[in-house]
């Protein structure tokens, strides 16, 4: 028995190679004239004939199905966007505590940009189980001036000069100890 004509070749299983499928379809083509010759005699139709009758009934059933593309809008609204939206304007801080950068850029020799999700780029790190550091990223301009200001501020807070590492290649400052909340507040007050 050859493969069914109404099914695409792919559904016959990935094991069947293209050459085998071609051979089988050619076999179907040779079987077809035999069926045409048998039908007027009234002989019980061959397997191909039975298949032909089955395919014609499914075609009738298929014509009852209506294709519509209007419901695709329910799929489209689920597809996510790629661009991060700009946050809406709030009067003062947002309910979560988030504050936007000030409209006027601060008149300082350095600049600290916001992260791509509009947050202040201060991160804490814990290595070796007990080594606490704070990382201040996305700095532009005079990084040494910013380091001086950070040291002055933290000396007022803690009483001792914090150890800092300035990385001029990546434009970031690493400070010994966890000072993320204090530094975030300090940068927000500055207007970054």
Partner 1 sequence: MMNMFRSGLNVCCLALGKRLSSTFAGESALPSNLLIPPNLVEVQRRLRPLPTDSVPVLHKCEAEIARHLRPRQAWLESLRSRGEDQLGVVELHPDVFAVHPRIDILHAVEVWQRNFKRISHAKVKSRAEVSGGGKKPWAQKGSGRARHGSIRSPLWRGGGISHGPRGPTSYYYMLPMKVRVMGLKVALTSKLAQDYLHVVDNLEMPTPDPEFLLDIVRHRQWGESVLFVDANEAFPENLLQAAAGLKMVNVLPAIGLNVHSMLKHESLVLTLDAVKFLEKKLLWHDSRFTPLYPFRLPYSDFP
Residues that bind partner 1 (CB under 8 A): 76, 79-84, 105, 111, 113, 116, 140, 169-171
Q: How far is the CB of 84 from partner 1 (least distance, A)?
A: 5
Complex with partner 1: residue 54 or 141, whichever CB lies closer: 141
CA distance 151 to 161: 6
| Least CB distance to partner 1 at residue 81 (A) | 5
SS3 164: strand
Of residues 60 and 71, the one with the C-beta less far from partner 1:
71
- What is the enclosing helix (H) or strand (E) of 60? helix 47-62
Element (H, E) at 186: helix 180-190
Least separation in angstroms between CB 10 and partner 1 = 21
Q: List the one residue out of 132, 170, 173 whose CA is nearest residue 150.
A: 173
From CA 76, how far away is CA 87, in angstroms rounded?
23
Of 18 and 79, nearer to partner 1 (C-beta) is 79
Shortest CB 118 distance to partner 1, Å: 10
The smaller minimum CB distance to partner 1, of residues 84 and 157, is found at: 84
Separation between Cα atoms, residue 62 and residue 53, nearest integer Å: 14
Q: For residues 3 and 100, which CB has a smaller minimum distance to partner 1 in the complex?
A: 100
- Distance, first Cα to last Cα, the chain: 77
Tokens (6 digits) for 118? 């509009």
Closest approach of partner 1 to the CB of residue 73, in Å? 12
Answer yes or no: are the C-beta atoms of 176 and 182 closer than 8 Å.
no
């Amino acid at each position: 028995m050859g493969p069914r004509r109404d099914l695409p070749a792919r559904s016959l299983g990935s094991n069947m190679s293209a050459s085998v499928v071609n051979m089988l379809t050619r076999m179907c083509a040779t079987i077809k004239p035999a069926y045409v010759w048998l039908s007027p005699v009234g002989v019980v139709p061959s397997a191909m004939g039975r298949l032909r009758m089955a395919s014609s009934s499914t075609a009738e059933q298929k014509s009852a199905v209506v294709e519509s593309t209007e419901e695709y809008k329910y799929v489209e609204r689920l597809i996510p966007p790629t661009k991060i939206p700009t946050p809406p304007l709030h009067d003062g801080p947002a309910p979560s505590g988030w504050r936007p950068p000030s409209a006027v850029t601060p008149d300082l020799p350095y600049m600290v940009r916001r992260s791509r999700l509009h947050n202040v780029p201060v991160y804490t790190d814990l290595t070796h189980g007990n080594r606490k550091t704070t990382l201040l990223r996305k700095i532009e301009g005079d990084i040494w001036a910013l380091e001086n200001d950070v040291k002055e501020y933290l000396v007022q807070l803690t009483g001792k000069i914090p150890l800092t590492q300035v990385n001029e290649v990546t434009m970031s400052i690493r400070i010994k100890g966890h000072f993320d909340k204090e530094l975030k507040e300090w940068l927000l007050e500055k207007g970054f």
